[in-house]
Amino acid sequence: MKKIDSISDGGLVLFVDETKRGATTKGTQEDCLQYAYKYKSGDCYAFTVSNEITPAKNLNSNNEFEVKSFVRGNNNIVKAGTNNVLNGDRHTTSQQANFSILHGNGSYSENFGEMSYSANLIQNRGRYTILQYSGFTSDDTETEIFIGGRKDHRFHPNNSYATAYFIQSNSVALCSNEGLMWSQSNFQAFRNIAGQFTEVGNHTPTQLRDSALNYSLELQMVDNTLGHDYLKLMVTGEVGDDVYWDITLKITEVRIPEILAANSIFNPNFLGSPTWQKINQDTNNIITIPYDATTGGSKMFGDGTRNLAMRYTPLVWGTNLWKITFDLKQIPYTDVTIDYIELKVQVRVNNQNSQVFTNEGTHSYYVNTVGGNNFIQFMINSTTGAGGCIINNVKAQIVTY
């Protein structure tokens, strides 16, 4: 029985050629079948990988592709992400769903590296998903680790839904220089309702470990004021210990979509009809810049001592829960006389519910409005400091469940 030298990413097997030192061979059909591999056209394959996005004939129908993935089944939709595998019916990938596996019926993937299962009769409403985190520490500094060990890959809730999560975390750490291990299991519950990501409760962790190791792990909910909430996985080793970490999150979730009333405001280009108005608190220190056809939005920037602002006033808020959405872009440094303008804007409704945003992209901002002056206000002022932004696609909608 020939020894295996290597298996490629595509599954091709090469054997050790015992007649020539350091050489390899494709082997015979008998060599291949001894490992229960597949022998095809003179080559041996441990597995096969399809790079085609076209489903096999007579087995698949009504699948929609916008990006490269492998899909087998019916009525699956790949909206975003690459290198996903969808097996079954009515699955959906969106947002950051790269390298995800979906199985069953009606499941969805929205984060990096998810293995997601559902048998739901109602599509896109619940699932069981698994995430694998990995990392390395060499001291006692609390360190964030990420999905697949890839920096900044985290679990993000989807603010378009009201969602409840039950999470089991299983973690194991290996101290390589001492030959000792540490492990922990825990249960936590979270909810994400109207853009508010909240921890509901948690269980006392269970640890199994070599007694010499006093490590720790925490799964933290980050209610990010930038509008990008996420789960943060933090680990702590010990000084002098080379520790390899691997953590599995098993997430059971159920969700319902937000029901939005008809738009009360929708301004594709921010300024237009109805009109967004300048705020003239002091004519000596106010600058407002209207819609710019080149940048595709309304642009404003200031040094932090001035109050740059725009607001929309005719809206009657009532006592509803509102969802404000808008797009933010960075101002190119070539557009201004200084080298760099930090992306920053403060959003305020009725002189309350203030929040500062500093990331590009589409943002969701929820407000419970009671009384007030009936306006949405976008500002850069002495509170936020120097900054600027390009604003586009502003909407306000009533939210119900």
Looking at the fold, whether 280 and 253 belong to one and the same domain comes out as no
Looking at the fold, whether 233 and 294 belong to one and the same domain comes out as no
Please check whether residue 328 is in contact with residue 228, taking contact to mean a CB–CB distance below 8 angstroms: no
Q: What is the pLDDT of residue 293?
A: 66
Structure tokens at 335: 């557009």
Looking at the fold, whether 212 and 293 belong to one and the same domain comes out as no
Please check whether residue 208 is in contact with residue 187, taking contact to mean a CB–CB distance below 8 angstroms: no
Which residue reads 């096969």 in tokens?
48
CA–CA gap between residue 240 and residue 213 (Å, rounded) = 12
Last residue of some domain: 257, 275, 290?
257
Q: For residue 308, what is the domain's CATH number?
A: 2.60.120.260
Burial 66-97 (b: 16+ CB within 10 A, else e): eeebbbebbbbbbebbeebbbebbbbbbbbbb
CA–CA gap between residue 116 and residue 123 (Å, rounded) = 13
The SS3 of residue 292 is strand
Q: What is the pLDDT of residue 337?
A: 62
Which residue(s) pair with 217 in the sheet?
235
Q: What is the pLDDT of residue 251?
A: 98
Which residue reads 């293995």 in tokens?
115
Q: For residue 221, what is the domain's CATH number?
A: 2.60.40
Residue 138 domain boundaries: 128-257
Whether the link from the prior residue into 274 is cis, omega within 30° of 0, is yes
Greatest Cα pair distance in the chain: 89
Q: What is the pLDDT of residue 342?
A: 85
Summarised one tens digit per residue, pLDDT across range 238-253 is 999 999 999 999 999 9
Looking at the fold, whether 38 and 8 belong to one and the same domain comes out as yes
Nearest one of 80, 150, 108, 116 to 249, comparing CA atoms: 116
Residue 346 lies in a domain: yes
Q: What dihedral angle (degrees, nearest 10) is formed by the CA atoms of 211, 215, 221, 227?
A: -170
Residue 57 lies in a domain: no
Structure tokens at 399: 């939210």
Looking at the fold, whether 331 and 344 belong to one and the same domain comes out as yes
Looking at the fold, whether 87 and 146 belong to one and the same domain comes out as no
Looking at the fold, whether 220 and 311 belong to one and the same domain comes out as no
Q: What is the pLDDT of residue 12?
A: 87
Residue 56 lies in a domain: no
Q: What is the pLDDT of residue 225?
A: 52
Q: For residue 138, how many other CB atoms are within 10 A of its CB?
A: 14
Last residue of some domain: 239, 257, 275?
257
Structure tokens at 223: 């209610």
Pairing of strands 297-302, 84-89: unpaired
Residue 185 lies in a domain: yes
Looking at the fold, whether 132 and 111 belong to one and the same domain comes out as no
Backbone angle region of 31, left / alpha / beta, with phi > 0 → left and psi within -120 to 50 → alpha: alpha
Q: What is the pLDDT of residue 284?
A: 41
Looking at the fold, whether 360 and 272 belong to one and the same domain comes out as yes
Residue 396 lies in a domain: yes
Q: Where are the beta strands (DSSP E) in 259-386?
A: 259-260, 265-267, 277-278, 291-292, 297-302, 308-312, 321-329, 345-349, 352-357, 361-368, 376-380
Looking at the fold, whether 166 and 111 belong to one and the same domain comes out as no
Residue 239 lies in a domain: yes
Could you list the mean pLDDT of each consecutive 10-residue stretch along the chain, which spans 401 residues? 82 85 85 85 76 40 69 86 89 88 94 94 94 97 95 89 96 96 97 88 96 95 71 96 98 91 64 56 47 70 73 73 86 68 85 81 79 76 81 83 75
Residue 75 lies in a domain: yes
Whether the link from the prior residue into 55 is cis, omega within 30° of 0, is no
Looking at the fold, whether 10 and 112 belong to one and the same domain comes out as no
* Count of structural domains within the chain: 4
Structure tokens at 355: 């929040």
Classify the C-alpha dihedral 267-272-275-278 as positive or negative.
positive
Looking at the fold, whether 137 and 117 belong to one and the same domain comes out as no
Phi/psi for 391 (5° steps) reads: -110, 140
Residue 244 lies in a domain: yes
Give 149-205 as a DSSP string. T-TT--B---TTEEEEEEEEEEEEEEETTTTEEEEEEEEEEEEEETTEEEEEEEPPP
Q: What is the pLDDT of residue 283?
A: 44
Last residue of some domain: 257, 289, 312?
257
Nearest one of 195, 199, 223 to 399, comparing CA atoms: 195
CA–CA gap between residue 47 and residue 141 (Å, rounded) = 41
